[in-house]
Structure formats: structure tokens, C-alpha cells
Structure 1
Amino acid sequence: MMTEQGVKWACDYCTFENWPSAVKCTMCRAQKPSGPIITEEPYKSSPTLEPGPEWDPSRTEGSSSLLICPDSSARPRVRPVTTAETSSKWSCQICTYLNWPRAIRCTQCLCQRQRTRRPTESPQTSGSNGGCRPAPSSPVDPCEEYNDRNRLNTHTQNWTCSACTYQNWPKTKKCVVCDHPKPNNLEAIELAESENPSSITSIINEQDRARWRGGCSGDQGQRRSPPTSKRESDVKMDFQRIELAAGAMSSREDQEVDFKKMKQIKNRMRKTDWLFLNACAGVVEGDLTAVEAYKSSGGDIARQLSADEVRLLNRPSAFDDSFTLVHLAIRFQRQDMLAILLTEVSQQAAKCIPAMACPELTEQIRREIAASLHQRKGDFACYFLTDLVTFTLPADIEDLPPAVQEKLFDEVLDRDVQKELEEESPVINWSLELGTRLDSRLYALWNRTAGDCLLDSVLQATWGIYDKDSVLRKTLHDSLHDCSHWFYSRWKEWESWYSQSFGLHFSLREEQWQEDWAFILSLASQPGASLEQTHIFVLAHILRRPIIVYGVKYYKSFRGETLGYTRFQGVYLPLLWEQSFCWKSPIALGYTRGHFSALVAMENDGYDNRGAGANLNTDDDVTVTFLPLVDSERKLLHIHFLSAQEMGNEEQQERLLREWLDCCVTEGGVLAAMQKSSRRRNHPLVTQMVEKWLDGYRQIRPCASLSDGEEEEEEEDE
């Protein structure tokens, strides 16, 4: 093997002699000095293991009185080396490097220190130490032992370039100095290190030891390797080097192609995809937090790994194509995770909303929503939707048999939310006149229990789908950011009035208001983060229509204790738009214990014979749902984010509601807003999605009819 010719240079910190092409010290990573360097010949093997002429202990004595290790400011300071300490060092039998007395391995080549022969031991028991100089016992600075061990750990992590001997970081694929590719066998070494760190020392230095065995002199009988001639060792080592170089050159193009492919895969990844990969890795490593983070973001538990995702994870022994989180939990015997995942899958399997019935149509609707979002030009540059869409349950449900209807409602509705809003605290359907005579009964659709439930409920009440791609959340954040001044002034004025109305009488500095507003902006940009009243106010402007929230008034603990006001119930008007630019048909949302649900009605055939006491003047195809603007105690619902000029008594607020909504008063004296929807005016993709969903229940209708006919025959026989 050819050695590098030239003049070595000595490090100013550790006095180690480096090859001329090295720009940093191989030992302590210090920068190469710009002044004159040592003018010595390349390293020569000497017949003894004494320090060579290039070793000059007085070199460090003439330097500064206090040295600091250059690669880490947290390491203890190293004091100057004295002659007594230098004489007590032990020389490595492989590379002849002088190590500190308490070092158990050579700092340069990581060779094990040979045990010193005691006077009572025979030559046979200590013959393997004949090449090492005994280390006399002397006090040593613990800082030096720390530095030695730290260098030892550093060398086990880095890899040495075979061309210029520069030690590179483990993740680098090419040498930083000479751009020489990283040997292929080092990847196997890294894998072995992660699985068995104790066996990596012998692997990582096998070629270095072979190189030193070929160049060092000494007693050949004391070497651990089998006795071979120097020529055979050099030939074998040169053959390995040629093999490694050929393999590196042949795989260089493949590595570049793989790198480009991986980069393309990463660029296509979204945040939900990264959360899914983290959850898969969490199952393998037993990290339940990663799985919970993926669940809270609304991720699909039944999602399968693709070939690109398996390639990105880069662990073929753990991940396979088409594997789900449940498969991984079974493979790695994660019983606690398996119970949680199976429960989640069973809950999702028990629900079947229209968005789940036809994924292709659902994706088309998402693209349609993204295309219908536009930004208004002018000072108030808020985003808005161009289409007016209202989701209602089809009237064909009533044509299904009672057993099928019950199954349908169990799968599409949230029974717990429905019960809480109707029975525990009468918030919806409390008026028999609205619910029975006017067919304005509200149904709470089942929604995901994720942090995006508000955005999901808004899209469910309009388009019947979830905000799975966070399109609405991104629009919410952009609108808040671009129109921050407009929304900030409304929010600040409303919060000041609200605190004074409850007798708090506190005032905040402008810096505190700005901090609270920055927190509201940050919530809008974080998928899975819970949203507040301000975000509902902004969503009303994006929809260009009012939003009515029917919610519980108090927060309660799991024991049923009241903790405080919720402040969500009320009417949210798009007050910053012109009235002519907005629609007067509202949507309804339900709020229960930190969870939002879409409240929708069912289609009907017309309102000619209702006797509502209001002149509707609507076509037979138009469905009108009466949404009460008062609570069960006949008190007017609060209007959120009013300015000082808009605030007033109840009559002024009622007048404001009549300006922004189509209102009427029923025969029973209930002030209600009319939500109008038409199947002909509704979006065709939404209508097609609902029909696909309903066809699944129509197919089980004959079975139910057959069972009913058999029961009738049995009754006649009796």
C-alpha cells in the first residue's frame, strides 16, 4: 500500500502529527495552523516502541499556559502537559501512539491496552504484552481521562476516509475534504453498531489494524493475527481497497438515483403522512405518544403502508407493504397499543357517513372546495367560498323499513351528542312546534374526535365531508393573517366588553393583547389544535353566511361538577362583509364538552300545509328548516363580536338579526331563522355522494322486507 508523501503538520492542541492533506486534526478536530509545520519525513517504523524523534514533549510547554479543547466548549479544560506525565504514558503496540496512563484503549487506533507484566507473573502469562511499555502508577488528572474517553467515543462514530484519512461524520456520504465516497461496508458497520455496540470496535478498525500490522515493526510472535509475511498482507489489503473502490464507483450512480427518488418522495409527503410514518415507527419502538399524535390529527387507523413509505422508513425487517398499525402491533407484540388500535378501528367500522361511502367522490368534492376558494381584493382581503351548499339528510330515508332506518341512524348520527343536546340540557328540538309541525328537527352527525372537529363540522353542514386535507384550516389561517387588523380590532373590543359585562373590570396592556392575538393566530395554523370563538367568526366570513352554535352553557367535569362558561353558544354574523355580498341562509353547529358536531335537517316535500303563520313563497323542491334564535327560556341568543355602535338592547339586536338572516315568527311566538336548501340547486357531486351512500341501505331492504313478510305470515297462521 502506498503511503501519502509530504510533510506532516503537528496539531497545536494535542501535538498529533497529521497527513499534509488533512485540514483538521484527526485527533481533536482542531484547525490546521497557518504557520510553519514540522519538516519530518513520513512515518517510519522503528525497531522499538519508544517515541520517535518527532515526539517533542517540550512543544506543549512552550505554548499557552491553559488550553481548551476546540471541539466542545462543555469539556473540562486541559492543563499543560508536564514531563513527568509524558514519561508515564503508555505506547500502543499497533500505532505507537502515546496514551494517557488511565486510558484503557489507544486513542488513535482503539487497540486494547496490553496488561502490564507483574514481577510475580511468568513470561508465558504476559507474553502478549511484550510489545507494550509498562505504565508506572502515578497520579493523573481526571480531565485527561475524560478527554481520552471522549475522543474514543468520537472515533467510534465517525468514519475515516481511505484517501485522505479525514474523519467524517456518520451521515456524510462523501468525504468533506476530497469528495471520496463512503465505503459500502461502513453502512453494515453502522447497522451492527445499532444492534450490538460492543462488537463494533473490532469491525470498524479491522482495516486500520491490518494497515498498522503491515507498517509496524516488533515481535511478530506477539501479534494476535496469524503470522503472515508483509508482502502477503500488503497484497491482501490492496485487493480489499481495490474491491471497495470499485464497489463505490459502481454504486455511485445508483446512490444518486436513489437520492433523487427519495427526495421526490419526501417532497410529496404531507404532514399527515409524516405523522403516519412516526406512528408506524412508534409502534415498532413502543412509543405510544406518536400513535396518539396521529390519532388526534384525524388519521385513518386502517391506513396501509405504501412501497414508497416502506422505502422511506428504510427498515425492511420491520415494515412491509400494505401493513397497518394493527399489523405492526401484532408483529412486535404491543398488546397495549393493539387494544387501543382495535377499539378505534371498531368504532370507525361501526360508523358509515356519506363521506365514507364513496372515497372517489369525496376527493372530487375536496378539489371542488379548493377551487371555489377565492381571495377578495381590496383592504379586507379575506378568503370566501363562491358556492352556497347546504347538506341535508335525504327524504328517501323514510321509505326504508324501520329496521333499516334504525341501522342508518345508528351509523350516521352521534347518539351521545344528540342525547346531551336534547335531554340533559334542552338546546335543540325543545320546541314541539318547530320539531313536529314544521319538520325542523335537527340531527347531530357523527364527527371525528380530533382537534379539527370545528372545521369538520362546518364542512359536514355544507358539503357533507371532513376537512381531511386541512384546506379549510389553511384558508382560516391565511384569512386571519391577511386581515389581522380587521379581526383584531373586533376581537379586542368584544373581549373588553365581555370582561366588563361580567364585572371583571380589568385592563390589559397592548403588549398583552398582542400576545393573546398571536396565540390565536398560532392555533389556526396547527392541525389538531383546538379553536376558539374568533375562529368561528372568521369561518362565517369565509362561508359568507351566518353560523348558529347551539351548545351547552357550562363546562363540567367527569363528576358532573360545573367548571365555567363555554361562551360558544350564539350567532356569528359576517359583519365585516357587505350584506349584499352574503347569504342569509345559516348553518347550525352543536357544541358539547369540547366537541363540535354538524346539526342538519331532513328533506321534505314542501310546506303548503304547515300553517306556520309565515308567507314562505317557496317552491316544492326547496327545503326550509326553521332554526330558533332564542333558547328554551325564550331569551335571544347572543350575537358575537359586535362593535360599540352595534351593541344595544334586545330590540336592536333582533333588528340586526333580521337584517342578516331570513327571520320569521311562528304561531307559538318563536323567532326563527329560515335555512333554505334545494336539491336542484345543491352541488351535483354532493347529491351523487348521498345517493351512493343511500344505495348501500337500499340493498338490504329486501332482506328486511322478507323478514317482515315472514312475521306477518306467522301472525296469520296463529
Structure 2
Amino acid sequence: MSEDETKWTCNVCTFENWPKSLKCTICLSPKLSHLISQGKSQDIYMMAPLISETCSDSTAQSSSISSNPHNKWSCSVCTFMNWPRAAKCTQCSSQRKQSPSPTEPSNYTLSDLSNNASVESSTACVLSDNYHNDRNKSWSRSIKWTCASCTYENWPKSVKCVLCHTPRPKIDQSCQTLCDGDENRLRHRINRCDVPGLYSPINCPTIRRNDHLPPETTEIQVSTPLASASDISRTSNNYLEECRLRNVRRNNREVDWTWLNACIGVVDGDAEPVIEYLSVGGDPARQLNANEVALLKRPSAFDSGYTLVHLAIRFQREDLLSLLLSHTGVTRTAAKRVPADISRTLAADIRHMIAASLKQRRGEFPCYFITDCVTFSLPAEIEDFNSIVQERLFDDLLDRDAQKELEEESPIINWSLELTERLGSRLYALWNRSAGDCLLDSALQATWGVFDRDNTLRRALGESLCEAAAVLYPRWKEAETLQANLLQFSLDETQWQEDWAMLLSLASQPGSALEQMHIFTLAHILRRPIIVYGVKYVKSFRGEALGYARFEGIYLPLLWEPNFCWKSPIALGYTRGHFTALVSLEPETEDVLGAGANTRSGDDLRVIFLPLMTVDHQRLPVHFLTQEELGREEEIMKQWLDCCVTEGGILVAQQKILKRPLLVAQMIEEWLAFYRGLMRRPITRTSSPDSHTQVYSSDGDSDQE
């Protein structure tokens, strides 16, 4: 910066002013160096009174500035502190009371100073007026220009629109010159203006610099200080229009365009946006609102309250209609009513009993275990209900989707008439939560008939994996190494350690999905075998196979002594990413087994037969066997299970159902009481099942989680 362009500092308020300014912009104090320079051409003794008066005024102003740094004036009506150049009060619009100003040009005797001060005073009058009142309301208003194509407000230095890249409209070069200059250039332009009235101080756009802001936030603003009534009305209308456009742009940002594109796709017969909307979890039952209908701008096609199904029916899009109906679930799933939800107090007591029965064994294998052996089964009284009540009961209790997938799509359970009809061993998939705790819920349902809401079983699982890692880790690593060798790949020790750490982390976090090793550890906690009947392949929602599931098979508590465990297994079902408990109805009569095996049946002991083979008579795999145990699967199964062969040649395991504990029996009795009440009322298939009964749920969990 040259010497001529160096700013001078006011001796009153210390504000740095431009070099050509003869007064301070803030406090309007005269430039002292100018007085001294003028004294070179006049008598220094004649200048003394003026300099003395200036210094005294400066001292007075300095004391006032210390308490009022911006030299604001107080309104006589509301006492609001306004900026010094404000003509009206910002709060009550009261006129400012005029008082003799110490900065009038008549205070100075020097001719040059008077002329320059008068120019400065007139320019300051033009620059202030309404500005300093507006400055109290808004400290920063940018000079953005509006794009003619998309109405987006761009920053002043933008040559093109940021959104649509439309070039900025050309501005009059003379006005652009004014906007780019500073105050001195503005005054120079006003003085030398050749066109009368065009750039007069009244009509010319003025430059406003926010000197009260920090230098990095200083902005130049352009406005017309004095305008006619029509200009004011036009400005007000422009302000309202800008507010409307701003609201429109904000609403456009909040609009779900994936949903609107799906609506347009149904009308135009384009399936791609509809599939995209459904793939991101869109709700086919979503309805159009008034704002969305206005945005679509096709009132003949769209109306408030319409869904994608309505649009497909209206425009006869049969292919899209079938796609939407498959995702909508037109037949709404009934609210689930399981025994644990009928009597929540009893269910809580049962969970406390389970927590009390958990113990930890001392020794080389410090794993937790449950002291009681309980197997849950459906009461035989269900068969005494009529068909309508039975259907209602099974709708409330069962997971129909899992039952269908395990029975019909790929026959995994109930594929033998000998087991289901003659031996009364039909399995039913119970509904449970699907928030990542389905394995633990299904394990407790198959034993005690309750959910693991207190995470009791999950804590026991996590602590067992951590404290018994010295025994569990080598067994897991050896089994996984055998699987890796079959797939022709290997891992180093670091990778094995990372995978094991991940298993420990999943076991201790509620809601985390569990894996095969967790089922194997769970078999040790329950001290009994676990048989998983599951799909062989994990499929996408389109039915495409994604990979092997690897959950199906038999999990034995191989790390315990056989005499420490029970041979009565529990059965679980596995579908796509979800476990369910598989239970059966209580048998009422004594059954004679095939192969000459007879089992006592009475009030205290009943037997259910679980197949150890697939539908094509292939033996179920036994998981987590060592290299020495491979090849002896049948021998190991007979050691840990009560196995027998039916007359049809099916290898089965006997599940012994003992008498229910008292709390479980009371819970089942309260649950049956509800359906006994339905037997005494006339119920038709067309009546709404929930029209006169209370609906129970699982603490906010639905069957569609």
C-alpha cells in the first residue's frame, strides 16, 4: 500500500479511516493532520483557537465514547439506543429530536475544510437515512443476484448460477462501476456526473459499508435511500416474493423425490422408479398430500390421499399393481398374542427363576449352565377348540411366514406323515422378536415359553465365551480351519484372533446377530443338544441365492461330560436371518415306537420325535467336531441323544417333555382362558378378530420388525 493510501487513525475513537476522508466515519471528528497542514499556509496563532477547540471537543467525546463506544442516541420515548445516523427509533419509530451538532460546517473557519466537510456531510446524509435503522435489524444483507432460470440467489462475484449454470444477466456498466467502488469513488462519481438527475445524490444507488463489523465480515450493500411510494410498494412486494420463493426452495429440499418419482412412474408405466422406491424401504401404502400434489402439477392424475396402488388401478398398470400388492401385504397380519404377553407378571417371574438357576462351573471350563431342564410344548386342549378358534389361536401364536418357508417352499420340517400323523410330532414355529435377539428368544421359548427380555441368556453367553475362551477357541479354530481347507483358503493367527474378537463382541451386545459358535456355546449353557432345522441357502428378497446358510445341523455340548447333560434336545428353525422355536402339541396317548423301542408315557413324561435326517434321508451334520471325531458322527449322536429308528426307517431323537413348572402352567392357563372365552361367543370368519378384544404386543415389537 502506498503512502497516499495509508489510512489515518482518529484521535477520538481510534477508527482507521480512508486517507481522503476529512472526518472520522464513526464519530465525525475532523482530521487533525488536515488542520495542521492547513496551518502551513495561515498564521499558526490564528489556528490555535481552532486546534484548542478541537482538542477539547475530542477530550469530551473521548470520555463519552468510553461509556458509549458507538455514540448511539437514546430515544426519548422508549429509551432504545439507536445508531448515531438513524433518523427514527428502530423500536417505536419516533422521530429523533434535533440538537445542535458539533460537526456542522459552520464550526470551522477554514474555507477548504468547510467545503470538504459540507460534501462529506451531504454524502453521509444520503448514505445513512434508513440504513442505520436497518442496521439495528440486520447486520448483514448480501447483494445476491437472482437467476432468471431457477430463481436461485447467487453471491455477487458468481459469474454463472451455481445450480443451473445460467450466465449472470448483464448490468449497466455505470451502475456496476458504482457498486464496485468505495465511498471516495462514489463521491467522485457524483461530483463529475454528466447526465443530470441520473446519478444525483437522491437517485443514485449508494454504497454502504458495515464498518461496525469485523474486517473479515465487512460487506458492501447497495440500496436507494430515498424512494417514492411506488418504489416502496415494489420493494415490499419483492420482499414478499423472495420469502415465498425461499419457502418454495426449502420445501423442495425437504420433498422425497424418490416417492414422487415412483408416483410419476406408475402414471407413466415406468417400473424402474417404483422398484427403486421399494428397494430403499419405501412404504407402498404412503399417501400423497396436498403439497406433493401441487409439486407434481398434474391435478388430473394425482389427488390427495392417493397411494401407488390407487394410481396403478386408475391407470390400469396391472404389472405394477402385482408388484405393489406383493409388497403391501393386503392381508394384514394379525396382532400377535403369545402366552408371555398375556400374563406379563408371570413371565417376569419366570425370567427371574431362569436367572436364579444360572450357575458357573469352576475348573478348566468355567462356563455358565442352567440347573433345570424344562421343555415347552403347546397344550393338548387346543385340539378341543373348534376350527375357527384354532385358526385364530394359531394366527396369534405362530410365525406363518417361517412355517410356510420351512414346510412348503423347502420341506425341512413335517415332511414325514409317519412323524406328524402317527407319532403326533408335528412342529410349530412360534413367533418371536426379530431385533437381533431371535436366537436367544427362541431358545428360551423352546424351554420356558418366554422371551429373553432381560438379556439374561445373552449375558451368560458373552461371559461364557470370554471366561472359557481357553477351551472354546481351539475347538472353534479347528472346526473353522477344516471348513477353510474345503474351500481352499487359509488364515493366519492374526486373522483368527480378529474373528474371535468379533464373536465375543457380538455375544455381549444386545440386538447383535449371532453365529454358529454362539449356538454351540448355548448348547453348553442349556446342557442339552440343539437341533437346528434351517434353509440351506440364504436368498435375497428376489429369491436369488446369496450363499450357504450353514446353520442347519446338530449342536452337542461336547465340552461337558455326557453324564452332566440331558439327552433331550430342543428344536429351532432358521429362515432368512431369523430363528424361531419349534415346539409340538403334547401327546395324550402312549405311543409305541418303531424298531422295538417302547417308551413310557404318562402324566409326568411325554415324548416327541425329532428327525435327525433330511427329506432325502441324509443325516444332519454335527458341528464343531475335531479331526479325530470326524467319521464317528453316528456314534457320537447316540452317545449324546436318545436315538431310535421308526418303522419307516427314519432316524429320530426323543424329546422328553416333563411336567411343566408351576409358573409356566399358570401362564399357559391364563393364555387358554382367553380362547375359552371365544368358544362361548359366536364368531364368524368375516368378523374382525380385534373388534371386541384387547390386542397384546411384545413391548412395541411387531412381527414385521
Kept in 2, the 8 Å contact 1:403–1:704? The answer is no
Which residue of 2 is the match for residue 571 of structure 1? 554
Which residue of 2 is the match for residue 180 of structure 1? none
Which residue of 2 is the match for residue 691 of structure 1? 669
Which residue of 2 is the match for residue 327 of structure 1? none
- What is the CA deviation profile of residues 603-650 of structure 1, one whole-angstrom value per residue up to 9, with x for unaligned ones? 0223245667312134344220100111111111111111122112xx
Task: Count the aligned residue pairs.
Answer: 417
Deviation at 1:493, TM superposition (A): 0.5
Kept in 2, the 8 Å contact 1:571–1:637? The answer is yes
Structure-2 separation of matches of 1:114 and 1:521: 72
Structure-2 separation of matches of 1:640 and 1:667: 28
Cα distance change of structure 1 residues 454 and 113 upon mapping to structure 2, 3 Å threshold: farther
Kept in 2, the 8 Å contact 1:555–1:562? The answer is yes
2:488 aligned to which of 505, 514, 524: 505
Deviation at 1:49, TM superposition (A): 3.7
| Pair 1:663 & 2:659 matched | no
2:476 aligned to which of 487, 491, 502: 491
Q: What amino acid maps onto 2:644 in structure 1?
A: C
Deviation at 1:379, TM superposition (A): 2.0
| Pair 1:473 & 2:473 matched | no
Kept in 2, the 8 Å contact 1:401–1:705? The answer is no
Structure-2 separation of matches of 1:113 and 1:673: 96
| Pair 1:673 & 2:658 matched | no
Deviation at 1:569, TM superposition (A): 0.1
Which residue of 2 is the match for residue 270 of structure 1? none
Partner SS state of residue 488, structure 1: helix
Which residue of 1 is the match for residue 581 of structure 2? 598
Deviation at 1:422, TM superposition (A): 1.0
Structure-1 separation of matches of 2:132 and 2:422: 103
- What is the CA deviation profile of residues 375-434 of structure 1, one whole-angstrom value per residue up to 9, with x for unaligned ones? 111121111111111110000111112211111111111122111111111111111111
1:529 aligned to which of 512, 522, 525: 512
Kept in 2, the 8 Å contact 1:49–1:96? The answer is no
- Structure 2 counterparts to residues 121-270 of structure 1, below 5 A: 121=123, 126=128
| Pair 1:354 & 2:339 matched | yes
Partner SS state of residue 122, structure 2: coil
Cα distance change of structure 1 residues 542 and 609 upon mapping to structure 2, 3 Å threshold: closer
Q: What amino acid maps onto 2:525 in structure 1?
A: I
Unaligned regions of 5+ residues in structure 2, if any?
A: 1-10, 16-61, 71-80, 87-116, 134-181, 186-210, 218-253, 257-304, 307-327, 686-705
Kept in 2, the 8 Å contact 1:606–1:622? The answer is no
- Structure 2 counterparts to residues 355-434 of structure 1, below 5 A: 355-434=340-419
Q: What amino acid maps onto 1:466 in structure 2?
A: F
Structure-1 separation of matches of 2:672 and 2:680: 14
Q: What amino acid maps onto 2:415 in structure 1?
A: W
Structure-2 separation of matches of 1:471 and 1:614: 39
Kept in 2, the 8 Å contact 1:605–1:621? The answer is no
1:703 aligned to which of 653, 662, 681: 681
Partner SS state of residue 393, structure 1: coil
Structure-2 separation of matches of 1:129 and 1:667: 102
Structure-2 separation of matches of 1:510 and 1:146: 63
Deviation at 1:123, TM superposition (A): 5.6
Cα distance change of structure 1 residues 393 and 516 upon mapping to structure 2, 3 Å threshold: same
Structure-2 separation of matches of 1:549 and 1:363: 27
Larger radius of gyration: 2
Deviation at 1:48, TM superposition (A): 5.0
Structure-2 separation of matches of 1:659 and 1:515: 34
Kept in 2, the 8 Å contact 1:544–1:581? The answer is yes
Q: What amino acid maps onto 1:420 in structure 2?
A: E
Partner SS state of residue 573, structure 2: strand
Q: What amino acid maps onto 2:633 in structure 1?
A: Q
Partner SS state of residue 499, structure 2: helix
Kept in 2, the 8 Å contact 1:355–1:466? The answer is yes
Cα distance change of structure 1 residues 706 and 593 upon mapping to structure 2, 3 Å threshold: closer
Q: Percent of pairs identical after alignment?
A: 55
Kept in 2, the 8 Å contact 1:607–1:620? The answer is no
Deviation at 1:96, TM superposition (A): 6.9
Structure-1 separation of matches of 2:491 and 2:570: 35
Structure-1 separation of matches of 2:684 and 2:410: 41
Give the TM-score of the pair, scaled to structure 2. 0.53
Which residue of 2 is the match for residue 226 of structure 1? none
2:420 aligned to which of 408, 415, 435: 435
Structure-2 separation of matches of 1:120 and 1:356: 84
Structure-1 separation of matches of 2:443 and 2:628: 29
Deviation at 1:581, TM superposition (A): 1.0
Structure-1 separation of matches of 2:596 and 2:465: 42
Deviation at 1:697, TM superposition (A): 0.2
1:453 aligned to which of 438, 442, 445: 438
Kept in 2, the 8 Å contact 1:442–1:599? The answer is yes
Unaligned regions of 5+ residues in structure 1, if any?
A: 1-46, 52-90, 99-109, 139-143, 151-285, 289-334, 337-342, 708-718
Which residue of 2 is the match for residue 518 of structure 1? 501
Q: What amino acid maps onto 2:400 in structure 1?
A: R
Partner SS state of residue 607, structure 1: coil
Cα distance change of structure 1 residues 351 and 419 upon mapping to structure 2, 3 Å threshold: same
Kept in 2, the 8 Å contact 1:452–1:530? The answer is yes
Which residue of 1 is the match for residue 5 of structure 2? none
Cα distance change of structure 1 residues 611 and 129 upon mapping to structure 2, 3 Å threshold: closer
